Every structure is written in C-alpha cells, then in structure tokens.
Amino acid sequence: MSTEHNKTKRRDFLKTASIGAAGVLVAGVNQTQAVQEETDSAWKQGMQINPNIDNLRVVCCHDHSMIKHSPGKWDMQSQNAPVKKDRVYKVLDELAKSLAQKKEAKEAWKTIFQKPANKEWDAAKVAIKLNCISENHPRIAVVGKVCEELMALGVKAKNIVLYDGKHDASKHYPEFVGKGIPKDVVVSKVNDALGGMVETKVPNPYKGSFKCTKAIAKGEIDVLINIAVNKGHKPAYGQTTLTLKNHAGTFDPKPIHKGGNLDYILAFNKSKAILGGTPVRQQLCIVDSIWGMTGGPFGVPNKVVHRLVMGTFSPAVDYLTAKRIREPIMGVTHKHLDRFLSDFGYKDFEKLDLVDVKHPA
C-alpha cells in the first residue's frame, strides 16, 4: 500500500469520525521483520485497539470543581477527602461520550469496553493496573467509577482485581472497598490474586523473556485497564511515568533499571500480555491528572492540574499528556517522546492534539 493511499484512507476515517489532526501509519512494513515479531508481539502495524475508536483520539477535561482544595498531606484519606466524587463521575462520563462519540454515557461505556469472545460479561475477568509507588495514587473516585461501569455491563465485582505487582495496591486501597470502590472488588497483595509471576516474551526493541503477572501473561484476564497518575521520571525512560511506564509492576521493572530503559518499556507494551486477546485485552487508559508531579516518581504532587485524560491507545495517551499538559502547563521538558508513537509505526503526528471536552454543567 503506498504512503499516499494510506494517508488518504486515514483522512477519510478522520473526516467520518470528526477527530481532527492525527498521525499516519508508516506503510511498507518489512514482511520478514513482521514474521520474526509475530511470535512475541501482539502489536501489528495499523491495528486498532477498538474498532469503533481511533487509536489517536485522546480526550481531556479541565475542571476545577473536581476538588474542593488541595490536601494538607498525601496519605490516602487526605488526598481523597477533597475530591468531589459526583463531579469526577460526571467528568468521566463526558470523557467517555467524547472518546466513543456517543450521546449517552451508557452507550459510550458499552462501546469502550468490549465483551470477550465466547463469554458473557458475568464470566469476564478484569484487572486494573494502578500506580502505587510513593504517595500519589489514582483517586478512589476514578477507580470506583470504572469499576461501576464494568459492573453495569454485567461484570461481577469479585471478578475485578486492582493490582500493582511491584508497589502493592493492598497497602493503599482495601479500606475503600465498600466505601468508594464497590464491595467485593479484589485488591491484590502485589500480584498474588493474579497468580504471581511467570516468564513471558516481549518483542523488539528489547526482545527477550521476562517475568510478568501470570493471569495477564496467560490470557486469563479478559479486560485490562490502565489507570496512571501524572508523574515524571528519568530522561532515559521518556522522562514520564504515565500509562506506558505503569506496566512496570505488571512486568518485572528491574530490567528497566539495568539497561532496558525505554526500549524495555515499549517492548512490553507491544506484548501479547498487554495487547493480546480477542478483543484486545487493554481497552482503556486513564491518566488521573487532578494533581501532577513535575518530577518523580517519588515524592508528592507539586502542581494542581485539574485534568483527567482518557484514550484507548497507551502511546497516544502518554504522548499527548506530555506534550499538551506536562510541557505547556506544568513547565516540564521531555526526551524521546516521539518514540512513544514512532515505535508503533506512526509518523507526522506532531500536530496531534488532545480533544478538549467541555466540563459538565
């Protein structure tokens, strides 16, 4: 397929979906390379995470009224007490409607979450990866809303697992089960509720076999949701800890710090563990950017950002969060951001922009 033909197809899709500026996939992938990667990589050039939502559509809502004030300290109770649950729920509904381009929130969530093949929703198993390092964690209202929307489709609360295989969600979230997070949702001690760890393969650019959360690596999880916070990190890692880096904890994070750097992060985000399944396992990515950190990953937020970001394709979510929020609003500079999209075959994406969602009345 020629590059020009590929661009034309892309323009036609964007015109139909009314998405605006977006990237273009690189055409003419080397077939030998594609065959070599086939055994390790779920990502294929041009694949759509959700057939009804463009990968590069990322939506953001800026709403000061999601919080009453900033917390005086950053333990879980203190950072959640100022959050207005009902307002966060409304913002997430508006984001879902914009992302799925539906008029009703119910239809939007139904479009975002895709029922697993050969299963009904009441048999589906869901894992939600949270960022539990240090003191800045996804807010309870964000996590609770996602759980409730899954349950509205028919998912059983006991089949939803919150986890962080490195920094342990069970240190922070159990007290909120039944108090903001639906009763019977499971909070895993590290990845114990998901079977521990098992070796699994990742593709280029850091091809190899590494430890991964077992239920995810083995395809026992039907729907994977990625809820990150807005943090920075070392330049070698892309200088961000957003949704891509959040899977350090699904996969063993040690290789990152032993030379794997961004190559390893990008590799495990192309893996069958993350993007395998029918339909694709990881179906939604959210950056809780109510508060943000210019640095990180340790420490506490130093910026009030008042934003939530949502998309289906992790590299686009992270690229746009960094380019349109962290850089102009938080005053941060980054390295290697282009790789977030170019390593997945996109080019001409510099003009890509967040879809600005008007906050609810």
DSSP 311-329: ES-HHHHHHHHIIIIITTT
Are 116 and 124 a contacting pair, CB within 8 Å?
yes
Nearest of 39, 56, 36 to residue 47 by alpha carbon: 56
Nearest of 243, 141, 129 to residue 191 by alpha carbon: 129
Helices (H), the chain: 3-17, 31-38, 76-80, 85-100, 105-112, 140-153, 214-217, 243-246, 254-255, 261-268, 272-275, 314-321, 339-342
Residue % of the chain over a pLDDT of 90 = 83
pTM of the model: 0.90
Nearest of 257, 272, 275 to residue 201 by alpha carbon: 272
Nearest of 240, 227, 226 to residue 269 by alpha carbon: 226
Q: Are strands 126-130 and 160-163 parallel, antiparallel or unpaired?
A: parallel
Confidence of residue 21 (pLDDT cuts 50, 70, 90): very low
Q: Rounded distance, CA 163 to CA 232, Å?
A: 21
pLDDT on residue 175: 97
Tokens of 244: 């891509």
**Domain hosting residue 66, numbered range:** 3-357
The residue type at 53: I
Specify the 3-state DSSP secondary structure of 247: coil
Specify the 3-state DSSP secondary structure of 339: helix
Confidence of residue 3 (pLDDT cuts 50, 70, 90): very low
Max Cα-Cα span within the chain: 57
Q: Are strands 197-202 and 186-187 parallel, antiparallel or unpaired?
A: unpaired
**Burial (CB count within 10 angstroms: exposed 0-12, middle 13-18, buried 19+), residue 27:** middle
pLDDT on residue 256: 95
pLDDT of 346 above 60: yes
Higher pLDDT residue, 305 or 10? 305
Least confident of 98-102, 292-296, 320-324, 341-345: 292-296
pLDDT on residue 299: 87
Nearest of 228, 257, 254 to residue 322 by alpha carbon: 228
pLDDT on residue 134: 87
Per-residue pLDDT, averaged over 150-174, amounts to 97
- Given the structure tokens 């990589």, which residue do they identify? 41
pLDDT of 27 above 60: no
The residue type at 338: D
Q: Rounded distance, CA 245 to CA 230, Å?
A: 11
Q: Rounded distance, CA 42 to CA 219, Å?
A: 12
Classify the phi-psi angles of 43: left when phi > 0, otherwise alpha if psi is within -120 to 50, otherwise beta. Answer: beta
pLDDT of 39 above 90: no
Q: pLDDT tens, 96-142?
A: 999 999 999 999 999 999 999 999 999 999 999 999 998 999 999 99
Per-residue pLDDT, averaged over 144-152, amounts to 98
- State the chain's mean pLDDT as an integer: 90
Per-residue pLDDT, averaged over 307-324, amounts to 98
**Domains of the chain: total:** 1
- Own/partner long-range contacts of 117-121 (Cβ < 8 Å, ≥24 apart): 117/278, 117/279, 119/222, 120/154, 121/153, 121/154, 121/155
Confidence of residue 267 (pLDDT cuts 50, 70, 90): very high
Confidence of residue 236 (pLDDT cuts 50, 70, 90): confident
pLDDT of 7 above 50: no
Per-residue pLDDT, averaged over 235-254, amounts to 93
Q: Rounded distance, CA 213 to CA 235, Å?
A: 26
Nearest of 57, 32, 46 to residue 313 by alpha carbon: 57
Which range in 22-26, 33-37, 175-179 is most confidently predicted, on average pLDDT?
A: 175-179
Total residue length of the chain: 361
pLDDT of 65 above 70: yes
pLDDT on residue 20: 35
